[in-house]
Structure 1
């Protein structure tokens, strides 16, 4: 299927391309329908891995042949987060409505930087709908971005400009003195990157101790702020977390907001995991979220949108725009024509050219409704507590933390191997994670809690069902002993030494 005779990149035969397009859709729908029957993840064979080492193709092989390569070398060896038992790191499974929306968005291919066209209105409505869903003011400024990492960066960038003043844009940080940003010791690593990128430096990020349930210790936060003020360091902002990455813990947002108000700090909430809990039966966990000056959300996590799409909300629209707005002559706004439009999104973030991420969120909320997304949160939370109960009742498993949001942290500790020390148990559980991944049964990951390695199971997947939890526990029971044998085989028991035969002379 070669290019058109006019030299464009369109197909020469539209009917043949249409047939291929229908086949692609059928193949992908078949994959989704039967995905549960396949391994979650497959290791890449060496020949497939080396097949990606080839040179740049100067002459095309045609769309059909190229699609055959996709089916052979890409589809079987993808990450696996479209599978019901992908519980690693934290990402949603995507959904068919979003998949179709991505196709439409790709065909339309609008630049969402601005202009007077319907896709811009779609994004504006998605911003308002999401603000309503989380209980934030619906007149807040908002921007869809690649994910919560970018959303958190933008939130802190607005905080930097709002607190330190407009000269930050013209003169940089010269003369502003040292500043501090406060967050829980369990805060996501993207906040360190944000401090570095914004010129504040890693040293500006103060990691405050947490309680036994891994939530921010607000008294310790107050002490840290007071100590910095006494040392001549300017407190800038505090980051509260609604759903920490390790355990899903939700900070006491009201208490943090009270402190931020007393101390004159910008309050930013990282709601990448739990920000949308307001749609669920546990909305009380995020009481106080609406008091934030800025808020980061992730729609490709618990909200299940296909990757990638996140959202930053900022209460003060003027502060948001003042942080990023640059309008060169060639982007001058108009009152009519395509260059009209009330909101130009490129003035509220880093990107000038922006993809149509909004459509997959808008279409899903129209098709499925916000309540369906909240029901998914309730159901996956229940599955996480089911797993936690199974762990608590199992002689060879122990739970390492309270269940936060829908995350369970556990540890394999075989009942008959009291000789294993903590370092050996770390190695056993690291091996167990790899064995589970390689088995194809599930994808879980590891993390470290209070210096000890834990198996982390993040059940934020709308396709997961109770049978998946049963299969996972059975897999731990089956592979746990193998992990122990690999890492710390038991020493032979003295009682197992052979007994000399009667009358035999010992050597």
Structure 2
């Protein structure tokens, strides 16, 4: 009789011991999340820790408990820290224990959501249905989970390219077409990258100036379109932003939608930061016009608090979206029955054939907390940003550098040596990060370096805002004494 293990399985020989070790690993991560405030937000990685991960390819097995201990001692303490309530540097969500458990379930199932008839795809379709409802899109709209808004923006650009030139662009390329696109000077750099990857080129992207609210200047946009038409180019795509990366500004989406309709241009909205503000009754009115977009990109791993990664692309014309990506292949043959039934498949709407079960953690998050509670959390982060702005305005040593539209606050310390202010504020930001209590980042506004605090984490509260103010004052005073 053959041993049932002759197939060289990678399953454990002792499931009981493995189960016990698994429970210890889960408990350690739950302890980590429960005790986040006792830890530094971030700390520098010691040189010996880095070199410890320069080993040659392992040839022999290592015990799981040993690897677990290495993770706890050498990896976990040196993460970027976005789960911590003091993390304010970049627009990263904090994640939740619920999302972590959902990721565990998805990993155990190990489903490939590229296609075929399986319930995990129905879970993704359920989330798509909710997204359509949230943004007021029709049932014919399509949607897809992707890594993040950078890829979602790229997909939207490709669909818009098909809308402008037809499906033959997939075979013939751009040929002599002179496509031109538009976005604001405050837009995320992935819009420029998308133009390059699509073969249109960043030189064909017009960066429209900003008004005093850091929004795209509508008059300048209209003039740029007119100039390009007069020069014989073909305007085809506008990327507006709901929540710019620097200051969280929201473009005038309704006005841009009016212009896009008049000019017969594709209106895309990069809502990576702010689109999920639609969950919040007090923020949704600021996003008026988003329901008129041809496509929207956003991230559930930011305000949605799902674990990384969970980006999403929503396209109004689902059939056009499908025609942009669907490719017949013998190994992707579709049937009316069996596992290969129930097309179209997710791989018909994007570049990935192999796709993880990202939808499960979002489904768990939305079902566990509900839209109302998530909306309250989002409102709370914006309220904290307003509180921070008030604290900055009330502190003579500090200066607010931009209006606070959503949850991003840009400020600086008024160092006496104003000529060296940019360098000193950059140093101040690094010292705050190294201090381990709060972690802002920096950006540059009109040539002035700003300390940037993005309030995204659901765990952040007023004590963390107060710590940012107090730590900024303390660190700056120490710098001036040195």
User: TM-score range with shorter-chain normalisation?
Assistant: over 0.9
Of the two, which has the highest radius of gyration? Answer: 1
> Unaligned regions of 5+ residues in structure 2, if any?
none
Distance across 2 between alignment mates of 1:229 and 1:485:
59
Query: 1:371-395 CA deviation, whole Å, 9 max, x = no partner?
Result: 1111111111000000000000111
**Quick one: distance in 2 between partners of 1:5 and 1:374?**
53
Q: Work out the CA distance in 2 between the residues paired with 1:66 and 1:19.
A: 15
Distance 1:59 1:392 in 2: 60
Residue of structure 1 equivalent to 2:456: 460
Distance in 1 between the 2:342 and 2:110 partners? 18
1:421 is the counterpart of 2:422: no
Instruction: Point out the more displaced range, 164-173 or 476-485.
Output: 476-485
Pairing 1:398-413 to 2, within 5 Å after superposition:
398-413=399-414
1:143–1:345 Cα contact (<8 Å) kept: yes
Map 1:275-290 onto structure 2 (within 5 A): 275-280=275-280, 281-290=282-291
Counterpart contact for 1:135–1:278, Cα < 8 Å? no
1:100-139 equivalent positions in 2, closer than 5 A: 100-139=101-140
Deviations 1:250-286 (A, max 9, x none): 0110000000001111100111111011111121111
Name the residue aligned to 2:219.
219
CA drift of 1:443 comes to: 1.2
Change (3 A) 1:303 1:237: same
Which residue number corresponds to residue 295 of structure 1?
296
CA displacement at 1:322 relative to structure 2: 0.7
Deviation, 1:483, is 3.4
Distance in 1 between residues matched to 2:377 and 2:464, nearest whole Å: 15
Name the structure 1 match of 2:362: 361
Question: 1:202, 1:434 → 2: CA distance?
Answer: 32
SS of 2:442 mapped into structure 1: strand
- Counterpart of 1:333? 334
- For each residue in 1:90-139, what CA deviation from the matched residue of structure 2 results, as whole angstroms up to 9, or x when unmatched? 11001111100000000101110111111000000111112222333343
The Cα of 1:421 is off from its aligned counterpart by 2.8
Is 1:234 aligned with 2:234? yes
| Deviation (angstroms), 1:435 | 0.1
Aligned to 1:451: 447
Aligned CA distance change for structure 1 residues 138 and 440 (closer, same or farther; 3 Å) = farther
Cα shift readout 1:413-452 (whole Å, capped 9, x = no counterpart)? 04xx2xx234x00001000010000000111100010111
Check whether the contact 1:134–1:277 (CA below 8 A) recurs between aligned residues: no
C-alpha distance in 2 between matches for 1:327 and 1:6:
35
Q: Which residue of 2 aligns with 1:440?
A: 436
Q: Is the 8 A contact 2:140 2:317 kept in 1?
A: no
Partners of 1:483 and 1:173 in 2: how far apart?
55
SS at match of 1:472: helix
Give the superposition deviation at 1:336.
Answer: 0.7
In structure 1, runs of 5+ residues without a counterpart are 487-507
CA contact (8 A) 1:133 1:370 kept: no
Q: Tell me if structure 1 keeps the 8 A contact 2:441–2:452.
A: yes
Give the equivalent residue in structure 2 for 1:248: 248
Using the size of structure 1 for normalisation, the TM-score is 0.93
Instruction: Output the CA distance in 2 between the equivalents of 1:235 and 1:150.
Output: 22
Matched residue, 2:191 = 191
1:181 and 1:397, CA in 2 relative to 1: closer, same or farther beyond 3 A? same
Aligned to 2:265: 265
Secondary structure of 2:352's aligned partner: coil
**How many pairs were matched up?**
477
Q: Deviations over 1:7-37 (max 9, x none)?
A: 2111111000000110011100001001111
Structure 1 equivalent of residue 477 of structure 2:
481
How far apart, CA to CA, are the structure 1 residues paired with 2:30 and 2:6? 33
Instruction: Kindly report which structure 2 residues correspond to 1:138-177, keeping only aligned pairs within 5 A, or say none.
Output: 138-176=139-177
CA deviations on 1:213-265 (whole Å, 9 max, x unpaired) are 10111011000000111111110111110000000000110000000001111
C-alpha contact 1:126 1:362 (8 A) present in aligned 2 = yes
Native 8 Å contact 2:438 2:467 kept in 1: no
